[in-house]
Amino acid sequence: MLTYVLKTLWRHRTRTLLTVSGAAVAMFVFCFVGSVQEGLTRLTSGADADRSLIVFQENRFCPTSSRLPEDYSRRIREVSGVRDVMPIQVWTNNCRASLDIVVFNGASPDQIQRTRPVELTSGSWSEFSSQRDAAIVGRNVAQRRGLTVGDQFSIGDISVKVAGIFSSSVPSEENLIYTSLEFLQYTRGLDAAGLVTQHEVLLSDDADPDVVASRIDEVLRAGPVATTTRRKGAFQASTLSDLIDLIGFAHWLGYACVGLVLSLVATTTVMSVQDRIKEYAVLQTIGVRPFRAMRLVLAESVILCLTGGVTGTLLATAALAVGGFAIGAEGATIAFRPSVSLLATGGIVSLLVGIVAGVAPAIQAATVPIVNALQEA
């Protein structure tokens, strides 16, 4: 009977192709929206986001406006529950929301190697540590900008030599470029000698992040610049708050895509059944059970939906894997990455939508008044 279903779809191949391609486009968008949301969730609630703190200048949001003394790190290190502190100078080419944001983080190369979840896929740490203008570049940035080890990369007043390309288990890291702290502090135009944008605090295992954060702000209150210390996830959520609102709205776009696939496949299946209502009457006359007729129609809609949906999902996965897309604002970035859960969601949603889209026409085919349908011209 599957032959019958497949041949029926092939018989109306233009209609089938249009429906499948429509479903593919809609599921492509659905997966893209899903990847943005997954990226945001990873950024704001991953292990890295919960077990480290960011000390930023009070009432400042953009990296260019936060200027903290570098030696705050010494005082922060004395706070109970702090395992390590990394002073970071941040430079970004764009404080506003952008799809091609370039973010430099200047920090001690030794500390970067020791504390950041990065792994060089090419290049060497020794070159990065020994050369003043050397930089290691996140895989996504390298992909977007076409950078390889040995290249010279210039943007604004900054010019670095690519000493390595790294990947990371934290996708947003792959949108960063790391340089040494001194290099970024002394870059023309920054005038940041002895100053950093933020301090990243790594907590000991038993430390309560919120208690430590309050304690750090208390200790630094006596200093020349007041600070606000938050969990890294909360800091990034606050930094990206405008984008988060937009992304929250965009999830409706994802649902709209599912609705689009549903109506598209349902329309095609209804048309297909109505065109062949006499065929279903003939099938039931020769002994096909109503429930079997129903299954034939459901198979038709599920095949349409799965073919389109899975194609769209695979294309989205490929685009996300190859494109290295990210959106960022004020130095924080959300990476769009493919994932197994996204693939599974695309497949499951396609299957469910295929079943739902086929229910009404399947019932129509199963309950066709046989005699009346046979009398149709």
Partner 1 sequence: MALVELKNVSKSFTKGDETITPLDDVSLEIHEGEFVSLMGPSGTGKSTLLNLVSGIDRPDSGTIAVDGTEVTRLSRSKLADWRAANLGYIFQTHNLIPVLTAYENVELPTLLLKLSSSQRRERVELALEAVGLTDRADHYPRQLSGGQEQRVGIARAIVAHPKVVVADEPTGSLDTETSEQVQVLLQRLNRELNITLLMVTHDNNAASIASRQLTLDRGKFREPEEVVA
Q: By the criterion CB under 8 A, which residues form the site for partner 1?
A: 1, 3-4, 7-8, 10-11, 278-279, 282-292, 370-371, 374
The tokens describing 254, both together, are 């994802």
List of residues 6+ apart from 16 with CB closer than 8 A: 9, 10, 268, 304
| Residue number with CB closer to partner 1 (205 or 376) | 376
User: Measured from the CB of residue 297, what is the shortest distance to partner 1 in angstroms?
Assistant: 15
User: Measured from the CB of residue 245, what is the shortest distance to partner 1 in angstroms?
Assistant: 51
| Residue number with CB closer to partner 1 (132 or 289) | 289
CB contact burial 61-76 (16+ within 10 A = b; e otherwise): bebeebbbbbebbebb
User: Measured from the CB of residue 306, what is the shortest distance to partner 1 in angstroms?
Assistant: 20
**Amino acid in position 147:** L
| Residue number with CB closer to partner 1 (181 or 296) | 296
| Residue number with CB closer to partner 1 (116 or 276) | 276
| Residue number with CB closer to partner 1 (272 or 345) | 272
User: Measured from the CB of residue 369, what is the shortest distance to partner 1 in angstroms?
Assistant: 9
User: Measured from the CB of residue 23, what is the shortest distance to partner 1 in angstroms?
Assistant: 22
User: Measured from the CB of residue 376, what is the shortest distance to partner 1 in angstroms?
Assistant: 10
Q: How many residues would you count in the chain?
A: 377
Give the up-direction half-sphere exposure of residue 207: CA atoms within 13 A in the CB hemisphere: 24
| Residue number with CB closer to partner 1 (11 or 77) | 11
Cβ-in-10-Å burial (0-12, 13-18, 19+) of 279 comes to middle
Q: How far is CA 161 from CA 92, 181, 211, 235, 339, in A?
A: 17, 15, 41, 30, 32
Q: Quick check: helix, strand or coil at residue 131? A: coil
Which ranges of 12-117 would DSSP assign to H, the alpha helix?
13-45, 47-50, 72-77, 109-115
Contact 153, 164 (CB under 8 A): no
